[in-house]
Amino acid sequence: MKKYIQVHPWEIVESGFHSEFAKISESIFSLGNGRMGQRANFEEHYSGQTLQGSYLAGVYYPDKTRVGWWKNGYPEYFAKVLNSVSWNQIRVIVDGVELDLNKYEPIDFQRTLDMKNGLLKRAFSVIMPSGVKLSIETQRWTHMSRKNLGGIRMQITPDRDCEINIHSVITGDIRNQDSNYDEFFWEDTQSGYENAISWVSQKTKKTGFHVYAGTRTYTNCCQTFIKSETKVSELSVDDAFRVEAKSNESIEVVKYAAVLSDMYVDTADFSKQMELELNEAAECGWQKLCAEQATAWQEVWDNADIQIEGDDTAQQAIRFNIFQLYQTYTGDDSRLNIGPKGFTGEKYGGSTYWDTEAYCLPFYLGTATSDVAKNLLVYRHNHLPKAVENAEKLGFTNGAALYPMVTMNGEECHNEWEITFEEIHRNGAIAYAIYDYINYTGDEEYMETYGIDVLVGIARFWSQRVNYSENKKQWVMLGVTGPNEFENNVNNNWYTNKIAVWCMQYAKDSLAAIQESNLETYQDVIDRLNIQNEEIDRWKEIGENMYFPYDEEKKVYLQQDGFLDKELIPVSELEENQRPIVEHWSWDKILRSCYIKQADVLQGFYFFEDEFDLDEHKRHFDFYEPLTVHESSLSPCVHSILANKIGNHDKAYEFYLRTARLDLEDINNDTCDGCHITSMAGTWLSVSKGFAGMRVKDGTLTFNPNIPKKWSSIGFNIKFRDNYLRVQLSHESSQLSNLDGPAIDISVNGSTIHIPSNKTINI
């Protein structure tokens, strides 16, 4: 665990340069605006370990599958968000020697991520071989309101006269480090320099996305810059300047970048739009653009911030998680989704997983307008035909839908058999998200317009995936992988069986609700989807007769058949040098062990908590948590929420810090690959559903708070249906404010509180 980040409520601060953590810092200090993003690579050249990363939302490449033994049904590619045009390079050469912090150790190095204002800052000094001491300060942003715009401001101050050459570079010579065959994913690359603008144009192979990026560099100092020759190659442009720098006089370089893709701009308009955006940036100037950026972020914080008093470690962590989530996804485009690493790295290809529905959707429900969360659901609805195709490839019929484990356009693009074919519980997360959205927003119309088609397709899949066991005289599900990926090809994974039954029941109930409310719409659904009474009866019969593995002695549901045949040794008895086990053990040893990667049975208790009493919650938590190694980033938040529910408040706080500071302290030893964006939503869930005890019961917002001893209070704003609310909780009291919207009834610790419009109630 790396603890080199200083604690500050609104900033992430790295004090002192830690080259051994360079790639981790590049992830942590990443920037984005929902449409594009960058890892926090240095502006100047750096020859040490680095992952140069600049990514555009929705622009991907189908990288050919690399697998040793092909199986029928395998996808032909893994979709990957592309490492695209790099525009942030400002190379600095002093008296003929290039600045490189891997060669010349910096003095007083400090890197700061200003989360309140959306600004990355860096300051350091360095003594060059000629004896010149340079003091350098940089600022950078990707603009939240000007979605195609990025900017850098660099100030260079030498302590003596010297010659400094500045090279403002934009290049398309960038490759994905996760390329399966070291392939260059771009073609038709062109570059040029016109009207003081450097530009690079590229097109992706196969998918045919066009990207056009341009930069313009300005200098502003009391010395005379001499414009050097601008070098244009096929892949890049080097816009060079030379200055005879004077002692203790600062050189300022400002660089604006406009990065366009044909996702949003017609290719015929690329040049005109790029020039327009760069000219507008120049007219505004750096300070005004920074002010606009701060205003845009203030709007986010007004809605999404959580204030924790008494614990700056917890406060910094929750804000970092919220900051990265909104850098990744802003919800204005239903073609986009949330990659597990966002714009911070290449692992998982930037594709969509079930993480979005299970963890991210509730975050956006609470912190944004309902359209943002709705777009996440519409994304899946639009991919329904592909989900049907995915199921057909595996032999399913009659419109059965299997949503992909990994996707960019709805096609499955994951190629590990135990995941692609067996981790089918992901279907349940899609259905649960529809329930979650409607339960929270009250948008019943969504079901008729979009949701029912998805639910029926998923129910049809489950009804074909089970089979009847003559031995058990019950329905069973064979050959699956549950959320715990440290168990493959098991029979009757409890969570998978549970969510399959729930999905079929929810589809059945939703059809009945549509029939009751609008007979004409119901008949249209029946006709359009060709639903027969026999298949609805089958859903009901399966649900009433599904087999769930259970141990009568321990009185717990078993993760799957045969789980108690394992040697049940608690994680506490593992030696530290064996952790994480995925890095130290063979896969054979892991599969035979009792150790659980992430919440599995407990994931079901989290989703369906009202079906189990408090004693059942305690028994299952006490049985499974000691066997869980939490080597999935999605695990600690669920355990934090459940620990709070059963009154284990120390554990709840422990798991909150683990999920909230997962990347800030590199707890899972993999932040170098990028931050765990989707699990960051779990941090918000740990606070809102855990410590604040927030739920929606029968259309009523409820709170059962139990905040950590170390915290004086927590406060946050929440959007709920027609209301905009303020929640302030402490150990002694609660305060609820109805900031906007009609009068509302809210339940707190079982008591109903009536809050008139624009009023505050103290409890």
- 118-139 CB burial, b ≥16 within 10 A, e <16: bbbbbbbebebeeebebbbbbb
Active site residue 485: yes
Helix (H) / strand (E) containing 149: strand 149-158
Helix, strand, coil shares of the chain, percent, nearest 5, are 35, 25, 35
Catalytic residue chosen out of the listed positions 277, 485, 625, 631: 485
- 208-220 CB burial, b ≥16 within 10 A, e <16: ebbbbbbbbbbbe
- 419-452 CB burial, b ≥16 within 10 A, e <16: bbbbbbbbbbbbbbbbbbbbebbebeebbbebbb
Q: Where are the beta strands (DSSP E) in 586-743?
A: 695-697, 700-703, 713-720, 723-730, 734-740
- Order of strands across the sheet with 734-740? 306-309, 713-720, 723-730, 734-740, 760-762
Identity of the amino acid at 460:
R
Half-sphere exposure in the Cβ direction for 339 (13 Å, CA):
34
Which of 547, 532, 535 is closest to 478 using CA atoms?
547
Residue 684 token pair: 């918000």
C-alpha triplet 121, 339, 588: angle, nearest 5°: 115
Number of C-beta neighbours around residue 224 at 10 A: 9
Half-sphere exposure in the Cβ direction for 535 (13 Å, CA):
21
Which of 150, 268, 263 is closest to 213 using CA atoms?
150
Residue 129 token pair: 């071989």
Longest dimension (CA), the chain: 89
Cis preceding-peptide flag for 580 (omega within 30 of 0): yes
How many Å is the Cα radius of gyration of the chain?
A: 27
CA distance 68 to 70: 6
For residue 14, the cross-strand partners are 5, 111
Long-range contacts of 120-128 (CB under 8 A, 24+ apart): 120/29, 120/31, 120/40, 122/42, 124/17, 126/99, 126/101, 128/94, 128/95, 128/97, 128/99, 128/104
CA distance 459 to 301: 39
What is the per-residue DSSP string for 251-318? EEEEEEEEEEETTTS-GGGHHHHHHHHHHHHHHH-HHHHHHHHHHHHHHHHHHH-EEEES-HHHHHHH
- CA 702 to chain CA centroid, nearest Å: 27
Residue 581 token pair: 């086990």
CA 658, 661, 667, 671 torsion: positive or negative?
A: positive
Enumerate the H helices of 394-517 as residue ranges.
417-420, 426-441, 445-446, 452-465, 494-517
Contact 502, 557 (CB under 8 A): no
Question: Going by C-beta distance under 8 Å and a sequence separation of 6 or more, which residues neighbour residue 687?
Answer: 306, 308, 318, 656, 714, 716
Residue 552 token pair: 């009568």
Task: Cite the active site residues.
Answer: 485
